[in-house]
Amino acid sequence: MKNLSNFSIKRPKFTIVVMLVLLILGGVSLTRLPIQMMPEIEPPVAVVATSYPGAGPEEVLDSVTEPLEEDLSTVTGLQNISSQSQEASSLVILEFDYDMTIDEVENEITRTISSTNLPEQAEEPSFIEFDISMMPSIQMAATSTNGDTAEFENQVNDLANELESIQGVASININGLMEREVAVELDTEALSDYNLSQSDIAGMIEANNISMPINTIEDTEQGYNISTRTMNELDGLDELRELVLLDMPDEEVTLNDVADISISEDNGGVITRFNEEDAVQLEMMLADGANASSVNAEFNEELDALLDDEEYEQLSVSTLYDEGEYIDMAIDSIYVSLISGAVLAMFVLFAFIRNLKAPLIIGLSIPFSVITTFALLFFTNISINMMTLGGLALGIGMLLDNSIVVIENIYRHLSMGKNPKQAAREGTREVVTAILASTLTTASVFLPVVFVTGLVGQLFTPLAITVVFSLLASLFVAVTVVPMLASRILTVPKNMDETKRKQKGYMKRLRKATAWSLRHRASVLFAAVILFLAGAFGLAVQGMEFMPEQDEGFLTIEVEKEQGTLLEDTLATVEDIEAELYNHEEVDAYLSTAGSSGMMSFADESNTATISVQLTDASNRNMTTSEFINEVEDDIQDTDASAEINVIPMSQAGAGEPNTVVLNVSDNDEERLDEAETDIINELEDEADINSVTSSNSGTVEELQVVVDKAEARENGFQPAQVGEALYEATNGVEASTIEESGGYTTINVKYPADVLESEEAFENISIPNDEGEYIDLGDIASLEEAESPTLINRDEMTDTRELTVSFSDSLSLNEASQLIDDVITDLDLHEDTEHSMGGDMEMLNDAIPQLILAIALGIVFIYLVMVAQFESFKAPFAVIMTIPLAFIGVALSLLITNNPLSVIAMVGIILLIGIVVNNAILIVDYIQQQKEKGMSAYEAIEISVQDRFRPILITAVTTILGMLPLTLEIGEGMEGIAPMGIVVIGGLTASTFLTLFIIPIIYSFIDPETRKMNKKYMTPDGEIITQRQVDERKEQEAAASYEQSEQEADDSPEENTGSEQK
């Protein structure tokens, strides 16, 4: 490093060329780096979704879920298997280790589900790999001034098709379109007259509407092959109506004789509204690896161009959520924070040194460090995202630390009267080992983060790598560019020298304070221990959370009414909520979908609804998203007391409401599980800090069970399975074929009229044909019984599980609420086979905390090892390590002042802090050892080290703090998510910087043999009490006096000898 500095000073043009090459590489890399909201997250979770139309939750569990669970439980690397069974659908969730990818087991999963024995009516199970890209990147609503629904929907489809051709767009999902089908509604009396069944009609339609490939004919004469196909397609509804079913001697029976054929339009069980008007919802899905920022910008540009076209002039498309726009705003905010932090740091340097040229050199070094970092990110395939740029913005002060230490020391040598080149050379050489050690310690503390697994590892590894890259770049700049520029630009100051600086009042007071602390070492250390214990207590009582809330300006309202609620009634509740939203000026727009279901659910959910709400820009409202939710939540829930209504910020979509804990209670004994669930709910609801408890088993659905009389069925030629299959077709219809209609193919659905399902009596009169062609009424072979079934059946590890959602008050943090729940369950003394566990955010927090604590511990060990190598001592590094507990005092205080709980983000900030705070101690300890090597006593070296290193320590601390300040103040979009990192670093660094100046000299004085017993007291023969240090000083004075006397005698001796010789 020293030779590198000397080379840079001697070869300035070569240094400039190297820097220009790095700038070019970094600039090109910056234009090619992908831009994302967050690092690419690949949770090792797969879902097997199966649709079983018409089946209740218990039947879905018995016939679909349990067989799938049994077969999938043996998949390689499986860590957990859970499931949800509800009406008409089954979900089996497979979780694997984070060191695996779903691609590794995809083939095994697909083979397993394809070989699982499932009912014939159940559809083929779908394998779904959970991915962040499953969430829409843009959410839009389309409305039209055209009253023609068909034309409106055709325009929407055409628009979506054109937009899907944009590179980077995977697909556009359209919700709220009318579903069209050719309805063949059977006349039951006519069927009975002609002895025809539903399956007969469907079979005849299929048989007369075919396009079937046959084989290839080889034409040897012509010399080519001819493909052959059997064709007989029905041409329109009129031909379908005239389809001959029976050709009797006296008449032909056509389809029109036994059925009413028409084009049927249905909303498909979903109604979509935008700002209280009928609308269609469009969701743009990004392709894997696509750049949301650039693709969304191109998408919006193309959308605007298409809407200007005459073809779509009656169409209006409004955007509710645009991930790309939010990313751009968030990243722009980080860029602003980065630049403003750098400018503030340069002002600080000028304030201390009072020289414009020194900040100019620092200002020139910043782009070199930052752009070189971008080049390193490009070659390691890391994207620009909130974490990587957040690491840069948080580390802008650290980027300057190395350069500031070098430029300050060069300036100090200039103040001694040295010429610029000599000052640059010697000033850099004096601190190069210290800044190398500082860089290595900060880099080494992030090394364990790379080995953190799970979601936390995937989120923060890019941040750690970015900080390390930026520090290495800043080290390179500090030992090459800075001394080279300093040797050319800086000049010897006219009105200031180092001696005068040391005589300033604040420097004298600092030296006195250092001397006082060294005389009262025990008292100072005792006070530091008390402060540390107070800090540890503060952290303990502050509470914990997984991730901080973000002000995204977008929220979701989820509505669930009683099972069996009609769609119209659900829509009425939605309209009431819309009216409430309309009264709030903070609301910009809202998109409502009544009858919506989850993206992996196949059930008819007419009792559910979702309302996506977009708030106005943050600058136009005086409350955050979270504050808005707190204000309106009660009013929204009061619109329908019978409905369960949740208001969720977008950042927590899928994770439940804020201030909630998910509690899973499992037991194989259903009766014991019911009892445990009831007891837990009752006890929790008695707690003052618990607002409510809801259970996944809280609702039941009424169902009509068809109980087949086996004897009667056998006598009439039926097996129970035949009865079930016939009833399924009778109630759901039979898709016979497709027919070309209105420019597209429409399904032909052969079904009974609606009145067949209007009453139990009508249902019992459904005629079912047996193998002999005889028609038997359902009531003759089966009875109807009313029953209730759970709406949702949860299982975990193939054990029945109840999922309780516990809502707690704002006075509790996440971990405090979880502890309260644990205490309540412990007091209940449940059966030993009844197990419970935390889910949701608490589960992720429990997974993350041990790993982060291990990362912190390993980071401290690595710092110690680096210091041992630096100082060639096993004792001296302990003085450096002691700065870490000093920092925790400031961490606790900063979190308490800002009312922030300890989160995963804050703990990553603590890791960052550990790497920073040791740098001040390194400067002091390294300087002490340098002065001792020059012959200075240990005590004097300790005193002078604080005095000489005070300015660089203060400058680097203030620049680091100010560099992080814009980010910490949450200036701009998206800053809330990473602000706690800055808060803990600023608090910890402020406390440790002040305490380091006094505590580290004391610690070092105990380590060094010369000063270890310096305060030990003795009594002289004269009765005077003196310390060991005073004894040492007297010995030094006596040795100095003896030396001077011997020197004087040596000087006098030659004169005497010369005189005698002359005589």
Strands (E), 275-405: 277-278, 280-286, 315-322
Token couple for 262: 């028409």
Domain boundaries, the chain: 1-32+355-503, 45-130, 134-178+269-326, 180-266, 511-542+873-1015, 552-657, 701-790, 1025-1062
| pLDDT tens digits, one per residue of 427-477 | 888 888 888 888 888 888 878 877 777 777 777 788 888 888 888 888 888
511-542+873-1015 maps to which CATH number?
1.20.1640.10
Q: What is the dihedral of CA 18, 24, 29, 30, to 10 degrees?
A: 120
E strand residue ranges, 457-604: 554-560, 587-594
- The residue type of 567 is L
511-542+873-1015 and 701-790: identical CATH topology: no
Q: What is the C-alpha separation between 692 and 807, in angstroms, rounded? A: 5
Tell me the CA distances in angstroms from 546 to 313, 542, 899, 914, one per residue in order: 48, 14, 15, 21
- What distance in Å separates the CA atoms of residue 478 and residue 472, rounded to the nearest whole number? 10
Residue with tokens 């031909």: 239
Q: What is the pLDDT of residue 530?
A: 92
What tokens does 917 get? 């705070």
Q: Which amino acid is at 997?
A: L
CB 327 within 8 A of CB 291: no
User: Would you state the torsion angle of the CA atoms of residues 325, 330, 331, 337, taken in this order, to the nearest 10 degrees?
Assistant: 150
Return the amino acid letter for 619. Answer: S
* Distance of alpha carbon 910 from alpha carbon 890, whole angstroms: 11
Helix (H, G, I), strand (E, B) or coil at 192: helix
DSSP assignment of 430-445: HHHHHHHHHHHHHHHH
Quote the pTM value.
0.73
Alpha carbon dihedral 341, 346, 349, 353, in 10-degree steps, equals -170
pLDDT attached to residue 599: 47
Using an 8 Å Cβ cutoff, are 1035 and 918 in contact? no
pLDDT (0 to 100) of residue 699: 63
Q: Rounded to an integer, what distance in angstroms lies between the CA atom of residue 22 and that of residue 904?
A: 35
Residue 393: name the closest of 980, 977, 960, 989 by CA: 960
**AA identity, residue 5:** S
Q: Contact at 8 Å (CB) between 281 and 174?
A: yes
How far apart CA 817 and CA 689 sit, in angstroms, is 8
List, in sequence order, every residue forming a beta bridge with 792; answer none if it has no partner. Answer: 86
- State the CATH class of domain 701-790: alpha beta
Alpha carbon distance, N-terminus to C-terminus of the chain: 63
Amino acid 36 reads Q
Q: Report residue 620 as tokens.
A: 């136009």
Distance, CA of 669 to CA of 677 (rounded, Å): 12
The pLDDT, as a whole number, for residue 499 is: 57
Beta bridge partners of 47: 93, 128
Which residue's entry shows tokens 């029945």?
A: 800
Provide φ and ψ at 397, rounded to 5°.
-65, -40
Q: Please, are residues 668 and 609 in contact by the beta-carbon 8 Å criterion?
A: no
Q: What does the alpha-carbon distance between residue 360 and residue 485 come to, in Å, rounded to a whole number?
A: 10
User: Cα–Cα distance between 465 and 460 in angstroms, integer?
Assistant: 9
Q: Burial of 676 by CB count in 10 Å (0-12 exposed, 13-18 middle, 19+ buried)?
A: buried
Cα–Cα nearest to 891, from 535, 547, 393: 535
Q: Measured between alpha carbons, how far is 283 from 718 in angstroms, rounded to an integer?
A: 48
Helix (H, G, I), strand (E, B) or coil at 56: coil
Distance CA 126, CA 508 (A): 77
Q: What is the CATH number of domain 552-657?
A: 3.30.70.1430
C-alpha dist (Å) from residue 385 to 281, 293, 707: 29, 11, 59
d(CA 528, CA 1002): 11
Burial 993-1027 (b: 16+ CB within 10 A, else e): bebbbbbbbbbbbebbebbeebeeeeeeeeeeeee
Q: What pLDDT is attached to residue 312?
A: 87
Q: Strands 169-175 and 734-741, how do they pair?
A: unpaired
| Beta carbons of 631 and 622 less than 8 angstroms apart | no
Non-local (6+) Cβ contacts of 595 within 8 A are 267, 269, 270, 271, 567, 570, 571, 605, 606, 608, 609
Of 270, 175, 275, nearest to 609 by C-alpha is 270
CATH code assigned to 1-32+355-503: 1.20.1640.10
For 761-777, the pLDDT digits (tens) are: 878 888 787 777 777 88
CA 855 from chain centre, in angstroms, equals 20
What is the predicted pLDDT for the residue at 1062? 47
Residue 7 amino acid letter: F
Work out the widest C-alpha separation in the chain, in whole angstroms. Answer: 171
Ranges of residues in the chain whose predicted pLDDT is under 70? 1-2, 131-134, 147-148, 211-231, 334, 337, 341, 394-397, 494-506, 596-604, 650-658, 698-701, 741-744, 970-975, 1014-1063
User: What does each C-alpha distance from 190 to 186, 259, 632 come to in angstroms?
Assistant: 8, 8, 58
45-130: CATH topology is Alpha-Beta Plaits (3.30.70)
Q: What is the CATH number of domain 134-178+269-326?
A: 3.30.70.1320
Token pair of 948 as six digits = 């000489």
Distance between CA atoms of 931 and 938, rounded to whole angstroms?
A: 8
Beta strand 179-186 with 744-751 is parallel
As a whole number of angstroms, the distance between CA 254 and CA 250 comes to 13
Could you give the C-alpha distances from 519 to 67, 993, 1005, in angstroms and in order?
A: 77, 21, 11
Rounded to whole angstroms, the Cα distance separating 858 from 854 reads 6
Q: How far apart are CA 90 and CA 603, in angstroms?
A: 9
Pick the CATH number of 180-266 from 3.40.190.10, 3.50.50.60, 3.20.20.100, 3.30.2090.10: 3.30.2090.10
CA-derived radius of gyration, the chain:
39
Report the half-sphere exposure of 873 (CA within 13 A, side-chain side): 13
CB 217 within 8 A of CB 226: yes
Backbone angles phi, psi at 268, to 5 degrees: 65, 20
| Sequence-ordered list of residues with C-beta below 8 angstroms from that of 502, at least 6 positions apart, any chain | 947
* The pLDDT of residue 69: 93
